[in-house]
């Protein structure tokens, strides 16, 4: 049975709710409300202009017959599977490097590593369209230094998605900062104890660092998976930004949210687009549940033991 | 007051303040609901239009002079579908919108834009002044939904240097002989070390597929806009041929990457940089080059169908009034001013004066208003001494009445996507022309049937 709250605790709880209020209002007005609305719309035939007409599960049935849904899911899954491990490994490497930098240089490097995250996504998309150009882009020019004839990253259907993955690795600042913060919280005495026991750098990393930052790793896996499945801005800017571009690259970059956007705002099938949104929500939900179930076996939580302080 | 009641009061005050901030935030950025301007006069808000040059500013000034009471807000920037539809759906649309005429059918069928028959009648807009092909693009089921602005025609732009290197007189190039054209494309094409240095002939797929099909005697869509003709074998034959041109010159993936590096409207345009041998293009590239490369050695020729007759595909933007616009009458006045012959003539005079001051040729402003064009090209555009551009003007004017359009349709957006995607699949080597167009025909037919209800 839960203990009744003391007066001070009640007082603090009340203020906590007050400070949560702006977020709660935002949640209800800008997230929960639109979610309910989109679910209702997913059961209708709605073109944004006329009144929605009830269509039952028609939109969901139509998705099964729409080959572009499968194509968009395939493209998005391909990107996610490629992006996620690369993003994690590179972010962790960057965080480990940052963790070793001390003194005045530390602040400088932390800022520099985070700077790409401050660049607007649209600007990144345009920038990489030039960098990845198969004819004149810097990426292929760099590969050329090693005698490698680089692929057509932006126009060859087989290389478009790897190119997008390459672009996505530009923006790892947030993940790096989260992992860096976790690394800073690993108690130094654990490393000292490991060294006294004769553990080398790799063993210390594997047996001390990784378990101690596993909760942060788990968090960034979940967040990056969701972000990858919702990829839109950069891809849209690169391959769908204007009418001519929309069709010059084919559907090799047709990511799920791009297709959802096309259905909603180009073809005015907002009911269908809403159904697509709910399918994505279900996919993300299932993947997240699986990740949580699997992740809980490997994650070390530094929680308070039952009964009070440690 | 006890400490606990003080705390409760504090919480209530803070909550009220936050609620107030939220309410204020919600109001931010929204204009006056009734649309009346603060000064009491009327107001007009535009979308999709900007002030890139004197052609735009002269006409806007003409409107301001004729309607000084109107508080004008020009939201500069290209037309954005999401912004437009969100504005219409939320009941707070702009008063008048500037967009590609190919979009009008879909928006008209869905009720996103208003019929303009009353506007045309009330303001006395002379729709018969506009070229027939442009009229066709702004009409759906006999009702006006827009008023056309520019008139773009497709012509063949030849880089004289490349032609001479290939051993041909640029003026003798004839697109009606497809075998000879393919051979010339190969001759003009330059590849070195696996890199394309010059694109011999850019047939402008996928967007010009309707032109290639028409040249081969086929239409993509029936004249009433209701039946897909994408399964016509002549369309497949045309796509196969045009795609073969790409394959012969290095393949689409390489050529596309190459064209992505072009600076079409700058001094380092692909002709000036010798990156193109010849290309199909809208005439506005030529008028732009008159400013950026006045001394370019070019030849502008009509595109011809396989029977040897000149042929062009017509495009351009138009003005529409969205559903729920708060000042449709003012919007109608704006449309009339922006597209009337008198305003176009004033704009052309401003452009001619500017080019004369710069010592650059002025090949003309090609409007959708035939009466304006008649005055512009008989009174304002004069031989400049830059012969390629003077000849270009004659060529462009010569093809204007040979123009065709893909008919308007309630499923225009889906139809366009179907054939563009099909052509792209062929260019990427993922499907052959017949299979790609068969798939596109199915997709288009489904969309057209759904739109017809």
Can B43-151+316-346 and B154-313+411-452 be said to share one CATH topology? yes
Return the percentage of chain B with pLDDT > 90, whole number. Answer: 77
Contact A155 B18 (CB under 8 A): no
Predicted confidence (pLDDT) at residue A246 exceeds the cutoff of 60: no
Express each pLDDT in A130-163 by its tens digit: 999 998 899 999 999 998 989 999 889 899 999 9
Provide, as residue numbers in chain B, all residues whose Cβ is less than 8 Å from the Cβ of A161.
none
Higher pLDDT, B35 or A34: A34
Would you call B195 an interface residue with chain A, using a CB distance cutoff of 8 Å?
A: yes
The predicted structure's pLDDT at residue B267: 93
Contact B11 A18 (CB under 8 A): yes
The predicted structure's pLDDT at residue A9: 86
Express each pLDDT in B307-339 by its tens digit: 999 999 999 999 999 999 999 999 999 999 999
CATH class of B154-313+411-452: alpha beta
SS3 content of chain A, % helix, strand, coil (to 5): 75, 0, 25
What is the arithmetic mean of pLDDT over B194-200?
Answer: 92
**Among A7, A11, A266, whose Cβ lies nearest the Cβ of B413?**
A266
Contact B253 A152 (CB under 8 A): yes
B251 CA to chain A: closest CA distance, Å? Answer: 10
B198 CA to chain A: closest CA distance, Å? Answer: 12
Contact B196 A135 (CB under 8 A): yes
Predicted confidence (pLDDT) at residue B86 exceeds the cutoff of 90: no
CATH topology for the A60-298 domain:
MetI-like fold (1.10.3720)
Nearest chain A residue to B93 by CA: give it: A49
**Among B14, B260, B428, whose Cβ lies nearest the Cβ of A154?**
B260
A259 CA to chain B: closest CA distance, Å? Answer: 12
Would you call A266 an interface residue with chain B, using a CB distance cutoff of 8 Å?
A: yes
SS3 label, residue B270: coil
Contact A252, A161 (CB under 8 A): yes
Handedness of CA B291, B293, B295, B298 (dihedral sign): negative
Nearest chain A residue to B322 by CA: give it: A49
Predicted confidence (pLDDT) at residue B81 exceeds the cutoff of 90: no
The predicted structure's pLDDT at residue A50: 84
ipTM of the prediction: 0.75
What is the arithmetic mean of pLDDT over B83-96?
Answer: 90
Contact A250 B430 (CB under 8 A): yes
Provide, as residue numbers in chain B, all residues whose Cβ is less than 8 Å from the Cβ of A248.
206, 256, 424
Express each pLDDT in B374-421 by its tens digit: 999 999 998 888 899 999 999 999 999 899 999 988 888 889 989 999
**Separation in Å, CA A61 to CA A43, A56, A217, B40, B352:** 11, 10, 38, 53, 59
B266 CA to chain A: closest CA distance, Å? Answer: 17
How large is the greatest C-alpha to C-alpha distance in chain B, in angstroms?
A: 101
What is the arithmetic mean of pLDDT over B24-52?
Answer: 58
Express each pLDDT in A66-125 by its tens digit: 999 999 999 999 999 999 999 999 999 999 999 988 888 888 888 888 888 888 888 888
Express each pLDDT in B338-369 by its tens digit: 999 999 999 999 999 999 999 999 999 999 99
Residue B98 region, left (φ>0) first, then alpha (ψ -120 to 50), else beta?
A: beta
Q: Residue B38 — very low, low, confident or very high, per pLDDT cuts 50/70/90?
A: very low
Would you call B425 an interface residue with chain A, using a CB distance cutoff of 8 Å?
A: yes
Would you call B329 an interface residue with chain A, using a CB distance cutoff of 8 Å?
A: no
Would you call A14 an interface residue with chain B, using a CB distance cutoff of 8 Å?
A: yes
Contact B110 A49 (CB under 8 A): yes
What is the arithmetic mean of pLDDT over B235-245?
Answer: 98
Express each pLDDT in B276-287 by its tens digit: 999 999 999 999
Return the percentage of chain B with pLDDT > 70, whole number. Answer: 91
Nearest residue to B352 via CA among B376, B385, B378 = B376
DSSP for A238-298 reads HHHSSHHHHHHSTTTT--HHHHHHIIIIIS--HHHHHHHHHHHHHHHHHHHHHHHHHHHHH
Contact A134 B253 (CB under 8 A): yes
Residue/partner pairs of B339-344 with CB below 8 Å, 24 or more apart: B339/B125, B339/B147, B339/B148, B339/B149, B339/B367, B339/B368, B339/B369, B340/B125, B340/B369, B340/B372, B341/B129, B341/B369, B341/B371, B341/B372, B341/B375, B342/B62, B343/B58, B343/B59, B343/B62, B344/B59, B344/B369, B344/B372, B344/B373, B344/B376
Contact A52, A44 (CB under 8 A): yes
Contact A10, B6 (CB under 8 A): no
Q: Residue B32 — very low, low, confident or very high, per pLDDT cuts 50/70/90?
A: very low
Nearest chain A residue to B21 by CA: give it: A22
Counting every residue written for chain B, the total comes to 453
Nearest chain A residue to B7 by CA: give it: A11
Contact B260 A247 (CB under 8 A): no
The structural domains of chain B, with segments of one domain joined by +, span: 43-151+316-346, 154-313+411-452
Nearest residue to B47 via CA among B87, B17, B15 = B87
Contact A283, A266 (CB under 8 A): no
Would you call A53 an interface residue with chain B, using a CB distance cutoff of 8 Å?
A: no
Q: Could you tell me the two tokens for B426?
A: 């062929």
What is the arithmetic mean of pLDDT over B218-246?
Answer: 96
Return the percentage of chain A with pLDDT > 90, whole number. Answer: 63
CA atoms within 13 A on the CB side of B11: 18
Q: Rounded CA gap, A150 and A139, in Å?
A: 8
Contact A227, A240 (CB under 8 A): no
The predicted structure's pLDDT at residue A110: 87
CATH topology for the B43-151+316-346 domain:
D-Maltodextrin-Binding Protein; domain 2 (3.40.190)
Would you call B81 an interface residue with chain A, using a CB distance cutoff of 8 Å?
A: yes
Would you call A141 an interface residue with chain B, using a CB distance cutoff of 8 Å?
A: no
Residue tagged 């193109």 (tokens): B276
Q: Rounded CA gap, A258 and A263, in Å?
A: 9
Residue tagged 């990740």 (tokens): A291
Express each pLDDT in B10-24 by its tens digit: 444 444 443 333 333
Q: Residue A243 — very low, low, confident or very high, per pLDDT cuts 50/70/90?
A: low
E runs forming strands in B131-287: 139-140, 143-144, 147-148, 154-159, 190-192, 195-202, 276-282
The predicted structure's pLDDT at residue A239: 85
Helices (H), B203-278: 209-215, 233-248, 252-259
Helices (H), B302-428: 328-339, 341-358, 370-375, 387-399, 412-427
How many CB pairs below 8 Å do chains A and B form together? 109
What is the arithmetic mean of pLDDT over A12-41?
Answer: 92
The predicted structure's pLDDT at residue B85: 87
Q: Residue B1 — very low, low, confident or very high, per pLDDT cuts 50/70/90?
A: very low
Would you call B120 an interface residue with chain A, using a CB distance cutoff of 8 Å?
A: no
Nearest chain A residue to B193 by CA: give it: A149
Mean pLDDT of chain B: 89
Nearest chain B residue to A47 by CA: give it: B110
Q: Rounded CA gap, A151 and A132, in Å?
A: 9
The structural domains of chain A, with segments of one domain joined by +, span: 60-298
**Separation in Å, CA A188 to CA A194, A198, A203, A264, B17:** 10, 16, 15, 53, 46
Higher pLDDT, B51 or B7: B51
Predicted confidence (pLDDT) at residue B7 exceeds the cutoff of 50: no
Would you call B88 an interface residue with chain A, using a CB distance cutoff of 8 Å?
A: yes
CA atoms within 13 A on the CB side of B405: 27
Express each pLDDT in B148-192 by its tens digit: 999 999 999 999 999 999 999 999 999 999 999 999 999 999 998
Provide, as residue numbers in chain B, all residues whose Cβ is less than 8 Å from the Cβ of A128.
none
Nearest residue to B17 via CA among B29, B28, B9, B27 = B9
Q: Rounded CA gap, B287 and B389, in Å?
A: 8
Q: Could you tell me the two tokens for B431?
A: 């499907």
What residues pair up with B114 in beta bridges, in sequence order?
Answer: none
Provide, as residue numbers in chain A, all residues whose Cβ is less than 8 Å from the Cβ of B89.
48-49
Q: What is the DSSP letter of B377?
A: I
B382 CA to chain A: closest CA distance, Å? Answer: 34
B-proximal residues of A, 101-120, CB under 8 Å: none
Predicted confidence (pLDDT) at residue B28 exceeds the cutoff of 50: no
Contact B116, B354 (CB under 8 A): no
């Amino acid at each position: 049975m839960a203990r009744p709250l003391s007066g001070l605790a009640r007082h603090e709880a009340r203020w906590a709710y007050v400070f949560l209020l702006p977020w709660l209002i935002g949640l209800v007005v800008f997230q929960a409300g639109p979610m309910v609305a989109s679910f209702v719309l997913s059961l209708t035939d709605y073109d944004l202009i006329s009144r929605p007409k009830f269509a039952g599960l028609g939109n969901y049935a139509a998705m099964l017959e729409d080959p572009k849904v499968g194509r968009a899911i395939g493209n998005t899954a391909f990107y996610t599977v490629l992006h996620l491990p690369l993003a994690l490994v590179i972010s962790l490497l960057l965080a480990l490097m940052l963790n070793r930098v001390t003194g005045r240089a530390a602040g400088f490097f932390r800022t520099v590593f985070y700077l790409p995250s401050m660049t607007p996504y649209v600007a990144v998309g345009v920038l990489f369209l030039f960098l990845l150009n198969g004819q004149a882009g810097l990426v292929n020019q760099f590969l050329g230094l090693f005698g490698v004839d680089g692929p057509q990253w932006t126009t060859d259907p087989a290389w478009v998605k790897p190119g997008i993955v390459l672009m996505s690795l530009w923006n790892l600042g947030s993940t790096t900062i989260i992992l860096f913060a976790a690394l800073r919280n690993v108690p130094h005495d654990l490393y000292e104890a490991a060294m006294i026991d004769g553990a080398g750098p790799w063993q210390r990393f594997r047996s001390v660092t990784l378990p101690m930052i596993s909760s942060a790793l788990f968090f960034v896996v979940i967040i990056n998976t969701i972000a990858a499945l919702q990829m839109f801005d950069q891809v849209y800017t690169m391959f769908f930004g204007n009418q001519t571009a929309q069709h010059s690259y084919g559907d090799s970059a047709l990511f799920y949210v791009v297709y959802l956007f096309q259905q909603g705002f180009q073809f005015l099938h907002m009911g269908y687009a809403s159904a697509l949104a709910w399918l994505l929500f279900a996919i993300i939900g299932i993947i997240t549940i699986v990740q949580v179930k699997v992740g809980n076996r490997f994650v070390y939580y530094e929680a308070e033991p039952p009964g009070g302080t440690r | 007051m006890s400490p606990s009641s003080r705390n409760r009061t504090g919480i209530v005050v803070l909550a009220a303040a936050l609620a107030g901030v939220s309410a204020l935030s919600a109001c931010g950025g929204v204009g006056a609901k009734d649309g009346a301007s603060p000064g009491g006069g009327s107001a007009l808000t535009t979308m999709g239009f900007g002030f890139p040059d004197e052609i735009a500013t002269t006409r806007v000034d003409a409107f301001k002079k004729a309607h000084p009471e109107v508080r004008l807000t020009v939201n500069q920037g290209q037309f954005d579908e999401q912004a437009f539809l969100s504005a219409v759906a939320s009941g707070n649309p702009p008063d008048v919108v500037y967009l590609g005429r190919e979009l009008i059918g879909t928006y008209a069928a869905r009720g996103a834009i208003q019929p303009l028959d009353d506007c045309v009648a009330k303001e006395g807009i002379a729709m018969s002044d506009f070229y027939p092909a442009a009229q066709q693009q702004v009409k759906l089921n006999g009702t006006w939904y827009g008023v056309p602005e520019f008139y773009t025609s497709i012509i063949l732009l030849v880089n004289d240097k490349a032609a001479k290197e290939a051993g041909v007189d640029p003026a003798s190039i004839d697109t009606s002989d497809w075998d000879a054209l393919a051979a010339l494309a190969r001759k003009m094409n330059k590849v070195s070390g696996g890199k394309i240095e010059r694109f011999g002939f850019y047939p402008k797929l996928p967007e010009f597929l309707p032109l290639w099909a028409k040249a081969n005697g086929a239409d993509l869509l029936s004249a009433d806009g209701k039946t897909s003709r994408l399964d016509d074998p002549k369309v497949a034959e045309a796509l196969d041929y045009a795609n073969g041109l790409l394959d012969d010159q290095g393949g689409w993936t390489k050529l596309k990457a190459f064209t992505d590096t072009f600076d079409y409207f700058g001094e380092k345009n692909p002709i000036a940089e010798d990156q193109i041998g010849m290309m199909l293009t809208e005439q506005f590239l030529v008028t732009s080059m008159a400013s950026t490369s006045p001394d370019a050695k070019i030849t502008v020729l009509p595109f011809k169908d396989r029977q040897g007759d000149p042929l062009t595909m017509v495009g351009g933007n138009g003005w529409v009034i969205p559903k729920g616009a708060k000042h449709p009458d003012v919007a109608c006045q704006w449309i009339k001013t922006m597209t009337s012959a008198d305003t176009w003539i004033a704009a052309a005079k401003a452009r001619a004066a500017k080019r004369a001051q710069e010592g650059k040729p002025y090949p003309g402003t090609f409007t959708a208003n035939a009466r304006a064009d008649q005055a512009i090209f008989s009174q304002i555009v004069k031989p400049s001494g830059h012969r390629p551009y003077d000849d270009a003007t004659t060529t462009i004017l010569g093809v204007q009445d040979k123009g065709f359009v893909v008919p308007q349709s309630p499923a225009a957006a889906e139809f366009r996507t179907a054939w563009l995607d099909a052509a792209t699949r062929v260019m990427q080597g993922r499907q052959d022309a017949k299979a790609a167009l068969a798939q596109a025909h199915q997709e288009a037919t489904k969309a057209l049937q759904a739109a017809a209800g």
